[in-house]
Amino acid sequence: MSQTARCDGYALITSLIVTVVVTGLVIGFISTLNTEQKIARNDTDYSSAFYAAEAGLEKLNSDLSKLFQQSVFPTQSAINGIQASSAQPQLDRVTYSIYSVSGGQSTTLGATLEAVDTTATVVSTAGWPASGFFMVAAEEIAYSGKDDTHFTGLGRTGAVKHANNASVSRSKLITLTEGPNAGLNAQVIPFTLDVAAQAGAGSEARLNREVQVALIPVFQFGVFSDSDLSFFAGPIFNFGGRVHTNGNLFLAAGSGTTLAQKVTVAAHVIRAELANGVSSEDRTGPVYVLQSTGSCNPAPGACRDLQIGEGSKKGGPASDPNKDWTTISLTTYNGNILNVDTGAKALTLPFVGGNASTIEIIRRAPANEDATSLIGQSRLYNQASLRILISDTTAKLPGNTGVPLNGNITGAPWNYSVAKMPTFRPPFAQADPNDVEFLTAANADETTNAELIDGFIKIERQNADATWTDVTTEILNYGISTNQTDAILRFQKPRWDAADGTNSIAATDYSPINLYDARESHWRTTPAPASMPKSAL
Concatenate the DSSP letters of all residues of 502-536 into one string.
TT---GGGEEETT-B-GGGGS-TTSPPPSS--S-B
Tell me what pLDDT residue 534 has.
42
Tell me what pLDDT residue 421 has.
42
Q: How confident is the model at residue 502 (pLDDT cuts 50, 70, 90)?
A: confident
Region of 460 please: left (phi>0), alpha (psi -120 to 50) or beta.
beta
Contact 304, 332 (CB under 8 A): yes
Provide the 8-state DSSP code for 176: -
More confident residue, 437 or 61: 61
Tell me what pLDDT residue 431 has.
83
Q: Taking Cα atoms as reference points, which of 261, 208, 253 lies closest to residue 235?
A: 253
Give the Cα separation of 206 and 36 in Å (integer): 25
Burial class (CB in 10 A: 0-12, 13-18, 19+), 298: exposed
Contact 430, 450 (CB under 8 A): yes
Contact 266, 260 (CB under 8 A): no
Q: For residue 469, give Cα distances in angstroms to 34, 289, 385, 415, 489.
A: 81, 49, 11, 18, 18
Chain Cα centroid distance, residue 84: 29
Give the Cα separation of 255 and 351 in Å (integer): 38
User: What confidence tens digit (pLDDT) does each residue in 254-271 have?
Assistant: 889 999 999 999 999 999
More confident residue, 504 or 52: 52
More confident residue, 521 or 37: 37
Percentage of the chain beyond pLDDT 90 is 40
Q: How far apart are the first and last CA of the chain?
A: 143
Q: How confident is the model at residue 411 (pLDDT cuts 50, 70, 90)?
A: very low
**H or E, element range at 389:** strand 386-391
Overall average pLDDT of the 151-173 stretch: 88
Overall average pLDDT of the 330-341 stretch: 96
Give the Cα separation of 445 and 431 in Å (integer): 11
Please enumerate in sequence order all residues whose Cβ is within 8 A of that of 526, keeping only pairs 6 or more positions apart, or say none: none
User: What confidence tens digit (pLDDT) does each residue in 417-451 have?
Assistant: 444 444 577 888 888 887 767 666 666 666 778 88
Instruction: Check whether the bond before 533 is cis (ω within 30° of 0).
Output: no
pLDDT of 277 strictly over 50: yes
Cα dihedral 351→353→359→365 (10° resolution):
-60
CA angle, 151 as apex, 148 and 152 as ends, to 5°? 120
pLDDT of 327 strictly over 90: yes
User: What confidence tens digit (pLDDT) does each residue in 514-537 have?
Assistant: 755 554 555 555 555 555 444 434
Give the Cα separation of 359 and 345 in Å (integer): 21
Tell me what pLDDT residue 531 has.
52
pLDDT of 26 strictly over 90: no
Provide the strand spans (E) within 137-240: 139-143, 145-146, 150-152, 155-156, 167-169, 172-175, 185-199, 203-215, 223-225, 229-231, 237-239
Q: Taking Cα atoms as reference points, which of 511, 513, 517 lies closest to residue 532?
A: 517
Domain limits of the chain? Answer: 69-215, 223-342, 385-440+455-479, 481-515
User: Sign (positive/negative) of CA torsion 156, 157, 161, 164?
Assistant: negative
Give the Cα separation of 54 and 417 in Å (integer): 73
Overall average pLDDT of the 4-19 stretch: 70
Tell me the three state secondary structure of residue 276. coil
Of 44-48, 71-75, 298-302, minimum mean pLDDT range: 71-75
